[in-house]
Amino acid sequence: MAKTRSGRLKKSIVVLLKIGIPVAIIAYLVCDAAGTKNQAGENVFQQLVNQPKRWGLLAAAWLFCASAVMLTLVRWWYLVRALEVPLKFAGALRIGFLGYLFNLAPLGIVGGDLLKAWMLSWEHPGARAKAVASVVVDRLIGLYLLFIVASAAIVLTGFWRLPVDKVRLICQISFVLTIVGGVGLGVLLIPGITEGKGTRALGRLPRVGPAIESLIEAMRMYRRKPAVLAGASAISVGVHSLFASGVYLIARGLPGDVFSLSTYFVISPLSASTGALPLPFGPFELVLESLYMIVPQQGITMQEGQGLIVALGYRLICVLIAIVGVCYYLGSRREVAEVIHDAEQEQ
């Protein structure tokens, strides 16, 4: 009885934090933007209502973002099949869109990645370790390639030469994370590193141990599949390029000034890297708004809140894409409920 109450309390606290922290971030950004007006006496929200929108560009933005989401599902399916789990593409779409929905909405302590792993292992008994490994590597590659794309764009566009200290610091951080991440992944792919006593000891650490153990086990499974990792990385470049282009089209479709397309290949991946945090929204909006305010562009003066408006437009497009996940959820509510119950019991 006490254990049940403790579990319910934990679930309530997690949901409260998942909702409360993002709402607080958005509320702060909205209040900050609402108090800043342009020469016409309008804030960004009044401009959004009063000035015309380019609906064709916004529709194109939805298409780009939806294509990016589809590519992420193809990448995960590719990683699953590489471990000889007989998951059909239709099944990958169903599980993937459900995971996308659960990542977007704070529906409990079970996030989208965990739901994907559990549903895959639920449908393919005996493949639980492979299911977890596929999700871990999928997330890891996606996150690391964000910094690869951002760093490449920084170098190719000369972004790091901009005479703004904060921009140069951001560029340096991106370079450092790219190098450190590459070295870290390279080390994990060395056979002896993942087999020693020290590695097993890390897996027994309180709280973080299980996550470390899952990462190490995932790298063991994919270590002998360099072509698969390279293929998944190439897909990720396409994913992040589509998302960056989608954010650019959103900015073009909404009122206000717009950066060059190449700039969005820097600020979009850097903002999206906050997806590593277990929050459905908030950090992305905060980082994009901050970058809007500090990145200089010749002939452009960004108004306070312009980045927030673009980020909220992106979130709305994400919600429209997630409707597919809602349809899958309505068609398999009982199965999803059983999987969530089993997953929560082990949390």
Whole-number pLDDT of residue 186: 87
As given in the structure block, the two tokens for residue 182 are: 């590459």
CA angle 302-57-41, nearest 5°?
35
CA nearest 186: which of 134, 136, 155, 144?
A: 144
Q: Rounded to an integer, what distance in angstroms lies between the CA atom of residue 182 and that of residue 145?
A: 10
Q: Is residue 310 part of a domain?
A: yes
SS3 64: helix
Q: Is residue 254 part of a domain?
A: yes
pLDDT greater than 70 at residue 107: no
Q: How many domains does the chain have?
A: 1
Q: Is residue 100 part of a domain?
A: yes
CA nearest 44: which of 305, 308, 338?
A: 305
Q: Is residue 131 part of a domain?
A: yes
pLDDT band at residue 303, thresholds of 50, 70 and 90?
A: confident
As given in the structure block, the two tokens for residue 207 are: 């709280």
| Structural domain that includes position 251 | 58-345
pLDDT greater than 60 at residue 3: no
Q: Is-contact 294 304, C-beta < 8 A?
A: no
CA nearest 48: which of 319, 317, 261, 308?
A: 308
CA nearest 91: which of 67, 71, 116, 64?
A: 116
pLDDT band at residue 6, thresholds of 50, 70 and 90?
A: low
Q: Is-contact 81 87, C-beta < 8 A?
A: yes
Average pLDDT over residues 4-24: 74
Q: Is residue 225 part of a domain?
A: yes
CA nearest 230: which of 141, 146, 149, 139?
A: 141
Q: Is residue 151 part of a domain?
A: yes
pLDDT greater than 70 at residue 1: no
pLDDT band at residue 104, thresholds of 50, 70 and 90?
A: confident
pLDDT band at residue 316, thresholds of 50, 70 and 90?
A: very high
111-146: pLDDT as tens digits: 788 889 999 999 998 888 899 999 999 999 999 999
Choose the most confident range, by mean pLDDT, from 50-59, 183-192, 234-243, 336-345: 234-243
Longest dimension (CA), the chain: 67
Q: Is residue 46 part of a domain?
A: no
**Arithmetic mean of pLDDT over the chain:** 86
Average pLDDT over residues 139-155: 95
Q: Is residue 31 part of a domain?
A: no
- Rounded to two decimals, the pTM is 0.88
Q: Is-contact 148 235, C-beta < 8 A?
A: no
- Tokens 């809007």 belong to residue: 292
Average pLDDT over residues 301-315: 89
Taking phi over 0 as left and psi of -120 to 50 as alpha, with beta for the rest, 52 belongs to beta
Q: Rounded to an integer, what distance in angstroms lies between the CA atom of residue 15 and that of residue 111?
A: 11
Expressed in angstroms, the distance from the first to the final Cα of the chain is: 17
